[in-house]
Amino acid sequence: MNKEIRILLAASFIFSVLICAVAIAQSATIDSSSVIDKLVIGTTDQVEDINVNDGIFNTYREAFLTKSLIRVDPSGDFVPSLAESWETDDAQKWVFHLVKNATWHDGQPVTAEDIKFSLEYLPEKLGGSNWNIIKEVDAPDESTLIITLNSPDSNFLTNLLMLRTVPKHVFDSVEDPKRFNDPASAIGCGPYKFLDFDPEAGLIRFQAYDSYFEGQPSVKEIDIRMFKNQEAMMMALQKGELDTVYIYSGGISYYYVPDLLENNDLEYILIKNSGVPAAIWANQNRTPFDDVRFREAMSYAMNYEELQNLFTAGYGRKPNAGFIPNGSLNYIETMPLTYNASLASSILNETGLLDADGDGMRNLADGSEFHPEILVRSDSDSVRLGEMLKKYMNAVGLDAQIDVADSSGFWDAVDGKDYDLFVSRTTPWGMMMEAGYATGYMDSRSNGWPAINDAGFTELVDDLLASSSKDETAKLAQAVQEYYASELPAIPLYWNDYVQPYNKKYEGYVVNPIHGILSYETFFGLHPA
Amino acid sequence: MTIKGERQTHIFRKLMRYGFTLFLILSLNFALPRMMPGDPIANLLGEQARRNDPQTIELLKAEYGLDVPVHIQYFRYLKSLTRLELGYSIHKNSSVAGLIAARLRWTLLLVFPSVVIGSILALLLGSLAGFKSRSPTDYVLTALFLILYTCPTFLLAMLLLSIFSFHLGLFPLGNLTTGGTTGLKYVLDIAWHLILPVISLSLLGASYKFLVVRNSVSQIFDKQFVVAARAKGLTERRILMVHVIRNVLPPFISMAALSFGFMVSGALIVEIVFSLNGMGTLIYDAVMARDYPVMQGCFLILTVFVLAANLAADILYSVADPRIGGKGT
């Protein structure tokens, strides 16, 4: 009997082992089948070198090569990265507790001293407005980092999203990182390590880092193929040479959508743009742009329906006066912007801008000629947009002129406040600057594009920076949007969605608010369809 | 003075003139970028320029020598040129000489065959069209080259890319190499990548030269010496090859030389369509970013090329037509 039981037990054990083995084998099969050997991404953004000062390469550095203390998840919440936890009591002194198993791509451990070095070395050598707010960085032990700010900043974690950690043992001896183009400059602690850069082939390759502290990504190699025009890039996507495309803070031209719809191998995701794709900014240092009634009249002069149709091909929305696009964190409904030329004209009449000399165009209140200039960039859709705005302004008696400048001349004029009106977009990252909610663009202590001279707004921004609770932040964010809606420092012309195409052979692309599809979730969750 | 001596004097004078022109252009290369609106440091920092503290901006200006008066910058610039130093790019994190070296070889690889093929094509077909003036051959060739002449560069290049690369799959969609190849495979790979760009530039370059050659040939056929040659019983082919083409050569050499100089910078559109890293895009990026050292370096190279091409044309002129370079010229 005992023998039979023993045989039965042994048989059961063998059976269980076999079942387990089959299960493990099956799971291993699933794992290996979900691995992607190579993901080829096309882009029109051009990397010049693998330098820590190369703006485009830094996008890939942030997405693939390095890790900051924190990252954002798809919903925009801050989640741990190199720091497994953090705390602050006053939004001025921040304490981060680092993970203990992170290593650089050369095998050296990542320590708090490395992060302290990164926060001090890069701003010192390269400048960087995000870090002016830091007073002191301390690394009391290998896994604790204390950052003290000049003043409370509840939005400080947003700045940290742009932290490019560099290994102290590599960069300590580099006097000028702008001239350091050695492959060692690309050593990071992220899920991918730099493989090579071939400028003639327009190819940069990254390979999964075996010892990455958060595990192995499902995509083993990422190749970035650079094109100098979108047409050739889209041809490559349609031919299957690319798996997807990437354009920082943007999508492909809507012109290509019909081709995508016709191609059975391709699909696309619509990404809600948390930036404003086009807005008109008024210089409040000049008359009559400092008059809110003038700006209100301008807002009624614009035909938002037409702009939306012409510039977003149906992938856009009419904007609200609150500027912040719907879908953004703490978004509130403000007054929808509407086209009403007769109302615009009557408001302009009230401001004293009348046609004094009978030439069909309005003069200033003192009777002098008034030719408001719209500054636009030559290398964007702005010129076409400027023509439309000129048409709308002419229709209400404003003799608008277009001033086309290339990128350099444009920023020179904007920086020097040498404009009446200008057209520019805002980026998702830019919307998060300073206290968030576009305050980085609006506040005169920061970019200050509309040159707001209002102590009330400054106080609002300070309150937002000092806010210590989500509820308080939401309330203040609401107040900021109401301010934009009532004062119209900038008039959004439309909101839009980006079109992000991809080849259907892989699925699981997840969009990150900062780097789009180049997200942690994509690298770890992308799998064959 | 002997003819040889006269020619030497002629070449010496030319060299003096070219030397002065070079100095003048070098000075313009320095002045023009600085006369443009826009600031390289503001451009470097982009839309966040204002958010940087003024000290950072001053340090960056000092790093690139932009913190001193313009006349001191000018003397420093001339001094550095005497040492053949082109400086360091403000935007591209690399030395100007390194950037130019990396781009120029590809541009030359693109432009040189394009100029040669385009010129030969224009000379042969232009002569044929002029020789058979008002014949169906002339009509077809003239119409074809007129279409090419009026065709925008980007359109022709994009058509070639679309037909031969995208639809027929015969050529790659861009770049100079596939990557990862060496030896003969690498050379063949580059050739494969450059075929369409070279065809684009050759056809565009040939189009206007064709018209000049065709008109010159058809006009020369009415000249007295051609009538005399015919009267001597020479064949039409011999008249064309020996007497007519020789007379077409001086203006043709001039055109070819000029096109070589300008194509070094003017291949911009072709570089963009075929995603090539050449001098065109380097200059364009430098101008957009107000990258003074790169602009100065590139303009210097262009100046040298244009002047060298013109000098070569001048010398070839006197070879093609011995009357040039003699007394009184």
B28 lies within 8 A of chain A by CB = no
Measure CB to CB from residue B175 to each of A49, A51, A201 and give the nearest one: A201
pLDDT at B47: 61
Give contacts of B48 with chain A, Cβ < 8 Å: 129, 447
| CB-based contacts of B154, cutoff 8 Å, min separation 6 | B269, B272, B273
Contacts of B45 in chain A (CB under 8 A): 127, 129
Q: Does A49 touch chain B (CB under 8 A)?
A: yes
Q: Is the pLDDT of residue B320 over 80?
A: no
- Asked if B69 is an interface residue toward chain A (Cβ–Cβ < 8 A), one would say no
Helix, strand or coil, per DSSP, at residue A181? coil
B-proximal residues of A, 219-238, CB under 8 Å? 225-229, 231-232, 235-236, 238
Say if B181 is an interface residue toward chain A (CB within 8 Å): no
CB contacts < 8 A (A, B): 141
| Token pair belonging to A474 | 């939401």
- A239 interaction partners in chain B (CB closer than 8 Å): 166, 169, 173
Q: Do B162 and A235 touch (CB under 8 A)?
A: yes
Q: Name which residue leads in pLDDT, B60 or B4.
A: B60
B161 close to B173: Cβ distance less than 8 angstroms: yes
- Contact yes or no for A440 and B92 at CB 8 A: no
Which residue blocks in A93-214 are alpha helix, DSSP H?
A: 112-126, 156-160, 168-171
For strands A401-405 and A373-377, give the pairing: parallel
Which residues of chain B neighbour A129 with C-beta distances below 8 Å? 45, 48, 51-52
Q: Model confidence over A242-255: pLDDT tens digits?
A: 999 998 878 899 99
pLDDT of A31 strictly over 50 = yes
Asked which of A25-34, A62-71, A83-92, B295-304 is least confident by mean pLDDT, the reply is: A25-34
For A117-265, list the strands marked E by DSSP: 134-141, 144-149, 192-198, 203-208, 221-226, 244-245
Q: Which residue has the tokens 């040498």?
A: A418
Q: What is the mean pLDDT of chain B?
A: 86
In this complex, the residue of A127, A200, A412 whose CB is nearest that of residue B175 is A200
CB B89 within 8 A of CB B177: no
User: What pLDDT score was predicted for residue B324?
Assistant: 65
Is B208 or A28 the better-scoring residue by pLDDT? B208
Distance from CA of B190 to the nearest CA of A (A): 9
Lowest mean pLDDT among A14-23, A40-49, A63-72, A204-213: A14-23
Helix residue ranges, H only, A199-323: 230-238, 257-262, 292-301, 304-312
More confident residue, A127 or B65: B65
pLDDT for B328 equals 42
DSSP-derived 3-state class of residue A515: coil
Look up tokens 């040298």; give the residue.
Answer: B304
Interatomic CA distance for residues A233 and A224, integer angstroms = 12
For residue range B186-239, what is the model confidence (pLDDT) as tens digits?
A: 999 999 999 999 999 999 989 989 998 999 888 888 788 888 888 888 888 888
Which residue of B lies nearest to A200 if distances are taken between CA atoms? B176
How far apart (Å, rounded) are the C-alpha atoms in residues A192 and A63?
9
Q: What is the pTM of this model?
A: 0.85
Confidence of residue B256 (pLDDT cuts 50, 70, 90): confident
A408: nearest CA partner in chain B: B38
- Partners of A198 in the β-ladder: A203
**How close, in Å, is residue B88 to chain A by CA atoms?**
9
The b-or-e profile of A442-462 (16+ CB within 10 A means b, else e) is: bbbebbbbbbbeeeebeebbb
Q: How confident is the model at residue B113 (pLDDT cuts 50, 70, 90)?
A: very high
For residue A13, the model assigns a pLDDT of 53
Q: Does A38 touch chain B (CB under 8 A)?
A: no
Nearest-angstrom CA–CA distance, A464 and A475: 9
Amino acid residing at B256: A
A21 pLDDT more than 50: no
Which residue does chain B place closest to A410, by CA atoms? B38
The H or E element that residue A383 is part of is helix A382-395
Contact B177 A405 (CB under 8 A): no
Model confidence at B140: pLDDT above 80:
yes
Residue A201: list chain B partners with CB under 8 A. 175-180
Mean pLDDT, residues A459-474 taken together: 90
User: What residues 444-473 of chain A have any CB closer than 8 A to a CB of chain B?
Assistant: 446-448
Give the span between the Cα atoms of B265 and A511, in whole angstroms. Answer: 40
CA distances (Å), A54 to each of A61, A164, A374, B58, B117, in order? 10, 12, 31, 20, 38
Dihedral angle over CA of B34, B36, B38, B44, nearest 10: -60
Share of chain B above pLDDT 70, in %: 92
Q: Which residues pair with A103 in a beta bridge?
A: A109
SS3 A402: strand
Question: For testing the chain B interface, which of A125, A408, A412, A418 should be mutated: the one with the most B CBs within 10 Å?
Answer: A408
Distance of residue B290 Cα from the nearest chain A Cα, in angstroms: 7
Q: Quick one: how far is CA B139 from the chain centroid?
A: 30
Instruction: Report residue A216 as tokens.
Output: 């192995």
Query: Residue A42: in which H helix or E strand, if any?
Result: strand A39-43
Of B49-63, B135-149, B170-184, B246-260, the least confident: B49-63
Q: Is A178 on the interface with B (CB under 8 A)?
A: yes
* Per-residue pLDDT at A292: 95
Comparing CB atoms, the residue among B165, B274, B277 nearest residue A200 is B277
Residues 146-165 of B with CB under 8 A from A: 158, 161-162, 165
**Where are the alpha helices (H) located in chain B, listed in sequence order?**
3-35, 40-45, 54-63, 70-82, 96-131, 136-150, 153-160, 183-220, 224-231, 236-238, 245-266, 268-273, 279-289, 292-320
List, as ranges, residues 302-361 from A with C-beta within 8 Å of B: none
| ipTM attached to this prediction | 0.84
**Mean pLDDT for the stretch of residues A295-324:** 94
Nearest to A228 among B46, B177, B272 (CB): B272
Helix orientation angle between B245-266 and B183-220, rounded to the nearest 10 degrees: 140
pLDDT for the residue numbered B316: 80
In the predicted model, is pLDDT for residue A224 greater than 70?
yes
A216 Cβ contact partners less than 8 Å away, ≥ 6 residues apart = A208, A210
pLDDT on residue A27: 40
Q: Does position A24 have pLDDT exceeding 80, yes or no?
A: no
Amino acid at A60: Y
- Which B residues 215-274 touch A at CB under 8 Å? 271-274
pLDDT at A30: 40
- Residues 292 to 311 of A: which have CB under 8 A from any B CB? none
With a cut of 60, say whether residue A23 has pLDDT above it: no
Q: How many CB atoms lie within 10 A of CB B251?
A: 14
Contacts of B91 in chain A (CB under 8 A): 48
pLDDT in tens, A420-460: 999 999 988 889 888 999 999 999 988 889 999 899 999 99
Query: What pLDDT is attached to residue A26?
Result: 40
At A344-403, the pLDDT tens digits run 999 999 999 999 888 999 999 888 999 999 999 987 788 999 999 999 999 999 999 999
Q: What pLDDT is attached to residue B313?
A: 82
Q: In angstroms, what CA-CA distances link B226 with B3, B136, B221, B235? A: 28, 23, 6, 11
Which residue bears the tokens 């039979």? A4
Determine whether A191 is exposed, middle or buried from the number of CB atoms within 10 Å of its CB (0-12, 13-18, 19+).
buried
Residue A55 has pLDDT above 50, yes or no: yes
